[in-house]
Amino acid sequence: MRHNSVGGSKVSQSPPVLGLGFLGMGTVGCGAARILLSHHDVIAHRIRCGLKIVQVAVRNPNKERAVSLPKAIYTTDPFAVVNNPAVDIVVEVMGGLEPAYQCLMTAIQLGKSVVTANKELLAKKGSALLDAARERGADVFFEGSVAGGIPIITALKQSLAGEKIHRIVGILNGTTNFILTRMARDHQGFAETLREAQEKGFAEADPSDDVEGRDAAYKLAIISAIAFGFRIAVDRIHREGITNIELADVRYAEELGYSIKLIASARKHNGQLELRVHPALVPKTHPLASVSDNYNAVLVEGENVGRLMFYGQGAGGAPTGNSVVADIMDAARNIVYGSRARIVCTCRPNPKIRPIDEVESRFCMRMDVLDRPGVLAKIASVFAHHNVSISSVVQRESHGDTAEIVWITHPAPYASVKKALAEISDLDVVSRVRPALWVEPD
């Protein structure tokens, strides 16, 4: 920074200029950098200081990029950026755990402000970073890490800071939402739709983080920590992916009045936290059911605020870039006003996590059975034996001697449903049982 902090009411004559150091200049980095360059005047007017990108660390400085920066500011050494005395704010958009973690730790220890869009880093190492930042009086901002352009972190950290939140449920992964939307709309299978998503750039070459729900789990760990005030270890989140969702699942769901969505859900229940990421049947009347393609949405339910929903672009350089720029502006304000660490992590450790087997929900189950008298009764009696009460059942005309039955239960503990299902799959009249799918309440 080329100017001392200014506090109080008056802004000095020559506004300060803060130096930004970028770690990474990929999709999100270019998105943020383009906004910083093209909106420079409006940004400077609003935060009453200038922002200048002074150094950028990338693996290959010669690569063609969507933003035009002077060649001289590129380096291949991320620590050179972090340690550069002209860098006031370190913007980490490189992704991955290392060297991102060591770089940000170093930046924090130097008292620099940090902006990151790295959900994996935050979900796995956020506690250490936020503890260090609080200790050092440094700032860590991470709006870009969850739900792209949707300002859910700011909403939770500030606008809902006085609220007791009961529940958050969101569609936090655009890739899987794109796939599930297209499966329902175009009546094509998972593998084919995934290939289409990869061709369009909506899915990575290695899509496993997305389709197995890890990406959504990272994001859920981040937002549920803020919402409920507890550090969340990502491996405490029950997680199921969408890789074995079949076209038939999607079509039955549509027919019964549901959309299948990969949802991320966190709920307080008798002092315990219930945390899960899985595909679910969402009633068509539910606000999340109409969130399609690569859009994201987060529904928050609180004691006073009632139902609040945030909806927008969940990924992409421009929307996520906007979130990164908003964070940079907030970081800059704190430097200019001498109020670094104005909002710090106040999460407590070790929340009580509700065992997933105890969680009660409605479930949907699909199975192939022999089409002969007494089969339906036999299966129904297994459900009854496990105290799983059935809300609706649909049996299709049989193909040959096999009939397909779809059951939807009343709320029942997950463990009971799994036990009933295991017992049912052992029946000699049952040829194939699909895993139980969760059903969201209205």
Catalytically active residues are: 219
Residue position matching structure tokens 């990502």: 234
Q: How many chain residues bind its own copies (CB under 8 A)?
A: 68
Q: How many CA atoms lie within 13 A of 395 on its CB side?
A: 14
Residues 116-135 as x/- pattern, contact with its own copies by CB under 8 A = ------------------xx
Would you tell me how many other CB atoms lie within 10 Å of the CB of residue 341? 17
**What are residue 299's DSSP bridge partners?**
169, 309
Residue (6 or 247) nearer to its own copies, CB:
6
Scanning 230-238, 311-319, 357-365, 409-417 for contacts with its own copies by CB under 8 A, the matching segment is 311-319
DSSP one-letter string for 31-99: HHHHHHHHTHHHHHHHHTSEEEEEEEE-S-TTS--SS---GGGEES-HHHHHH-TT-SEEEE-S-SSTT
Candidate list 42, 128, 384, 394; residue touching its own copies; CB under 8 A: 42
Scanning 80-88, 159-167, 184-192, 351-359 for contacts with its own copies by CB under 8 A, the matching segment is 159-167
Minimum distance, C-beta of residue 290 to its own copies, in the bound complex (Å): 7
Subset of residues 327 to 346 that bind its own copies, contact rule: CB under 8 A? 328-330, 333-334, 337-343, 346
Tell me the residue type at 173. Answer: N
Minimum distance, C-beta of residue 75 to its own copies, in the bound complex (Å): 25
164 lies in the site for its own copies, by CB under 8 A: yes
Minimum distance, C-beta of residue 339 to its own copies, in the bound complex (Å): 3
Residues 185-224 as x/- pattern, contact with its own copies by CB under 8 A = ----------------------------------------
66 lies in the site for its own copies, by CB under 8 A: no
Tell me the residue type at 189. Answer: G
**What are residue 307's DSSP bridge partners?**
301
Residues 20-39 as x/- pattern, contact with its own copies by CB under 8 A = -----------x---xx--x
Give the integer Cα–Cα distance in Å for 44 and 51. Answer: 7
Nearest alpha carbon to residue 210 among 238, 218, 420: 218
Residue (7 or 257) nearer to its own copies, CB:
7
Residue (79 or 310) nearer to its own copies, CB:
310
159 lies in the site for its own copies, by CB under 8 A: yes
Residue 31 sits at the vertex; the CA angle it makes with 25 and 32, to the nearest 5 degrees, is 85
Query: Do 92 and 103 form a contact (C-beta atoms < 8 A)?
Result: yes
